[in-house]
Amino acid sequence: MQNRTNTLLQVIQNRILILDGAMGTMIQRYKLDEEDFRTPELANHPKSLKGNNDLLSLSRPDIIRQIHREYLEAGADIIETNTFSGTTIAQADYELSHLAYAINFESAKLAREVADEFSAKEPNKPRFVAGAIGPTNRTASLSPDVNDPGYRAITFDQLAEAYAEQVNGLLDGGSDIILVETIFDTLNAKAALYAIQEVYEKRNIPLDPKDGGIPIMISGTITDASGRTLSGQTTEAFLISVSHVPLLSVGLNCALGAKELRPYLKVLAQNAPFYVSAYPNAGLPNEFGAYDQGANEMADQVRDFLKEGMLNILGGCCGTTPEHIRALADMAAQFQPRKFEEVIEEEESNV
């Protein structure tokens, strides 16, 4: 594990790393039905399981393995585990909280197997697994009841406990990175970071990747043209809120297309003492909720980020496919990664 961390830290200094694209978009192409989501043990489960994509790591690992393979063939350096909703909290909607650990373990194991297969074929292009942690379907900062603004559907401690179980499963399955993504409420993210710190301490894993620790990536979501997260933070405030942990990277994903994301990425590029990541959607959704932006159009919009030296990690979120990732990888290969040493030097000179 420490060797893979060292390799990652070396590679990221020299080029822009490519993250994979959307898992859900690719799963939709398979036109799955209820039976595809049921393992033999869940044959008589009383609730409908269709749409519980994380469960496919147990019921249809062949599909998840193939999606990982397609993204790696397209040029991805990092693949995300199929665990966006892999907490006891999110799985409670399906009455499957008891499977949370297994979902994370098996998802990481699947990704690890495919990443290792590609690393063995191309030793000069090592592949990495990012254990994906989504925001859950509860928010710690906002009330779901407009008539009771003080009410909260979840507590910090409940979030931290659920995240800790997820992190343990992702690590046991072989993740190289822990990625807390699509953050709409920074308090949820702080609970995730707290859980990661607790798990690392118990497992005797250094927090700082420079000390051989398992790197942590953070990716927030600016929800609209207001330039704020759902819980009301600006990009700069979000950055400050998560900077107490020695992160590998901080970035933005989801909600917006590349063109709309640019001003907020610029804030991170100018201020973050970490590497910067971005994985925007394939444009904005149409009136049917679908994403129409093609691979070349998306790559053209991303070119501006790359020209200005804003990024170290680039990928795609909703609506993106291996075609998008291939176009982004080809584009990124023409540019140098962002250098953030100046940001750190400036901060130190101001101390």
Average pLDDT in the chain? 93
Note the pLDDT tens digit of each residue in 313-325.
999 999 999 999 9
pLDDT score of 351 more than 50: no
Q: How remote is the C-alpha of 76 from its chain's centroid? A: 14
Domain hosting 129: range is: 2-350
Find out whether 137 is annotated in a ligand binding site: no
CATH number (domain holding residue 216): 3.20.20.330
Find out whether 317 is annotated in a ligand binding site: yes
Note the pLDDT tens digit of each residue in 50-95.
999 999 999 999 999 999 999 999 999 999 999 999 999 999 999 9
pTM: 0.94
Report how many domains make up the chain. 1
Find out whether 318 is annotated in a ligand binding site: yes
Confidence band, pLDDT 50/70/90 cuts, at residue 342: low
pLDDT score of 310 more than 70: yes
